[in-house]
């Protein structure tokens, strides 16, 4: 399957019909996951303005700096019927946005969520009669439901990161620093097909008790329990994210072993509870209740999961308070954790897709503690 199956004009037309429902006249989308989602164009956010102007009907306009035009034209965006407009350095690009919106006297606009403030203010200055909201009021509902091509892309990413976990014994050894191990993991993440490394968490011993510890100069000791949470983005932009637990040696403290077995039950209970119709908060509660009933509720410091796609963290968030009803095609992590302050931590994480028949796991390695 190629990028052509992923980045089709169906996304633009779906966005346009969602805009019509929401009463938006146009979306203004700058480089970032929204632009990549809509066009396949992976542009870096720069001081120069790149902006997709997508009106509620008719073709969109992609405004790019002249020096970026070859890159834009080499992307899937070139096949989507967009009008390309470029401008040289030294020319103010904001009036080009006004030109693309000339059919609207006082447009209602949706801006991509991660637009820099300097771009927002520049647009407000040239569009004094416009009203501004966020593009995610229409894009979230599209991005949250993955197509079969997107699901296949995320499945490939999951299989790739599993290959890295399988090789952990090559790198994770006493006497090495977390940073050294993380550097080896990063190289392997690329070797198995990722284009970018998004994070390489190697939390050994007490560092494992901090959920988002990355890596450090700490030397890994015999007997250490190690949290390894790693992920990247494949060349098509779709990401991986998987956590497994390792211990350097044959034994672990009884206290850890007991907690870890409960954690495995919580993780599996949540995976088995995934189905269309359950709410995100109820799914969070499935994992949380298992841990709470066994006395570990206070040590589970974070939500159960997050969506994943072109962004490592996106909707749906599997968290208390989120009443969103899960549907087939939604992809997210299931990653309960237990953190014993200043001692050690444990987390198990798989990416899953909600299907009509329950969860399909993209990460399929066993969840038992791996002794190295
Ligand atoms: Zn993770
Ligand atoms: Zn995650």
Residue 201 Cα to ligand 1 midpoint, Å, equals 8
Residue 190 Cα to ligand 1 midpoint, Å, equals 17
Residue 361 Cα to ligand 2 midpoint, Å, equals 14
Distance between CA atoms of 290 and 273, rounded to whole angstroms? Answer: 12
Band of residue 5 on the pLDDT scale cut at 50, 70, 90: confident
Query: Which ligand neighbours the alpha carbon of 352 most closely?
Result: 2
Residue 240 Cα to ligand 1 midpoint, Å, equals 8
Q: Is the pLDDT of residue 94 over 70?
A: yes
Q: Is the pLDDT of residue 274 over 90?
A: yes
Question: pTM for this one?
Answer: 0.95
Q: Which two tokens stand for residue 267?
A: 């993780």
Residues of the chain with CATH 3.40.350.10: 3-142
Handedness of CA 350, 212, 226, 179 (dihedral sign): positive
More confident residue, 1 or 256: 256
Residue 90 Cα to ligand 2 midpoint, Å, equals 42
Task: From 167, 171, 236, 227, select the one nearest 199 (Cα to Cα).
Answer: 227
Across 27-53, average pLDDT: 96
SS (H, E, C) 172-208: CCCCCEHHHHHHHHHHHHHHCCCCEEEEEEEEEHHHH
What digits encode the pLDDT tens for the residues 124-150? Answer: 999 999 999 999 999 999 999 999 999
**Residues with beta carbon < 5 A to ion ligand 1?**
229, 241, 349
pLDDT score recorded for residue 82: 97
- Other CB atoms closer than 10 Å to residue 98's CB: what's the count? 15
Angle between helices 254-273 and 280-293 (to 10 degrees): 150
Query: Which ligand neighbours the alpha carbon of 211 most closely?
Result: 1
- Per DSSP, what are the bridge partners of residue 201? 229
pLDDT score recorded for residue 44: 87
Residue 333 Cα to ligand 1 midpoint, Å, equals 8
Q: Which two tokens stand for residue 119?
A: 């771009």
Distance between CA atoms of 52 and 38, rounded to whole angstroms? Answer: 9
Tell me which architecture the domain covering 3-142 has in CATH: 3-Layer(aba) Sandwich (3.40)
Across 32-40, average pLDDT: 97
Distance between CA atoms of 179 and 156, rounded to whole angstroms? Answer: 27
Question: DSSP assignment of 12-79, as one string?
Answer: HHHHHHHHHHHT-SEEEE-TTHHHHHHH---PPP-SS--EEEEESSS--EEEEEGGGHHHHHTSGGGG
What digits encode the pLDDT tens for the residues 154-200? Answer: 999 999 999 999 999 999 999 999 999 999 999 999 999 999 999 99
Q: Is the pLDDT of residue 4 over 70?
A: no
Residue 228 Cα to ligand 1 midpoint, Å, equals 8
Distance between CA atoms of 116 and 161, rounded to whole angstroms? Answer: 32
Residue 318 Cα to ligand 2 midpoint, Å, equals 11
pLDDT score recorded for residue 273: 98
Q: Is the pLDDT of residue 2 over 80?
A: no
Residues of the chain with CATH 3.90.230.10: 148-371
Over the chain, what is the mean pLDDT? 97
Which CATH fold topology does 148-371 show?
Creatine Amidinohydrolase (3.90.230)
Band of residue 1 on the pLDDT scale cut at 50, 70, 90: very low
Residue 113 Cα to ligand 2 midpoint, Å, equals 21
Distance between CA atoms of 272 and 283, rounded to whole angstroms? Answer: 10
What digits encode the pLDDT tens for the residues 298-321? Answer: 999 999 999 999 999 999 999 999
Across 60-65, average pLDDT: 98
Percent of the residues in the chain that have a pLDDT greater than 90, as a whole number: 97
């Amino acid at each position: 399957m190629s990028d052509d199956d992923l980045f089709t004009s169906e996304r633009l037309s779906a966005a346009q019909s969602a805009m019509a429902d929401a009463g938006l006249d146009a979306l203004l989308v700058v480089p970032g996951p929204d632009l990549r989602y809509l066009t396949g164009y992976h542009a870096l956010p720069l001081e120069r303005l790149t902006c997709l102007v997508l009106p509620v009907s008719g073709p969109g306009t992609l405004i790019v700096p002249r020096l970026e035009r070859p890159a834009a034209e080499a992307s899937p965006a070139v096949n989507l019927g967009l009008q390309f407009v470029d401008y040289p350095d030294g020319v103010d690009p904001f009036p080009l946005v006004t030109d693309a919106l000339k059919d609207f006297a006082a447009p209602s606009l949706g801006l991509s969520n991660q637009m820099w403030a300097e771009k927002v203010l520049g647009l407000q200055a040239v569009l004094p009669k416009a009203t501004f909201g966020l593009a995610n009021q229409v894009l979230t509902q599209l991005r949250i439901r993955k197509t079969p091509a997107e699901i296949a892309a995320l499945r490939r990413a999951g299989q790739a990161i599993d290959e890295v976990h399988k090789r952990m014994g090559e790198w994770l050894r006493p006497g090495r620093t977390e940073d050294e191990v993380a550097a080896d993991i990063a190289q392997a993440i690329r070797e198995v097909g990722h284009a970018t490394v998004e994070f390489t968490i190697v939390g050994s011993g007490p560092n494992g008790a901090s959920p988002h510890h990355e890596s450090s100069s700490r030397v890994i000791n015999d007997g250490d329990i190690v949290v390894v949470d790693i992920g990247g983005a494949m060349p098509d932009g779709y990401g991986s994210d998987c956590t497994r637990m390792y211990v350097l040696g044959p034994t672990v403290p009884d206290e850890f072993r007991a907690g870890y077995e409960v954690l495995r039950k919580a993780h599996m209970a949540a995976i088995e509870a995934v189905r269309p119709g359950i709410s995100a908060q109820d799914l969070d509660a499935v994992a949380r209740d298992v841990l709470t009933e066994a006395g570990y509720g206070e040590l589970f410091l974070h939500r159960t999961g997050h969506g994943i796609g072109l962004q490592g963290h996106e909707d749906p968030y599997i968290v208390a308070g989120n009443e969103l009803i899960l549907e087939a095609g939604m992809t997210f992590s299931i990653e309960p954790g237990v953190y014993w302050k200043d001692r050690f931590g444990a987390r198990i994480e798989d990416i899953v897709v909600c299907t009509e028949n329950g969860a399909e796991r993209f990460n399929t390695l066993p969840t038992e503690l791996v002794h190295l």
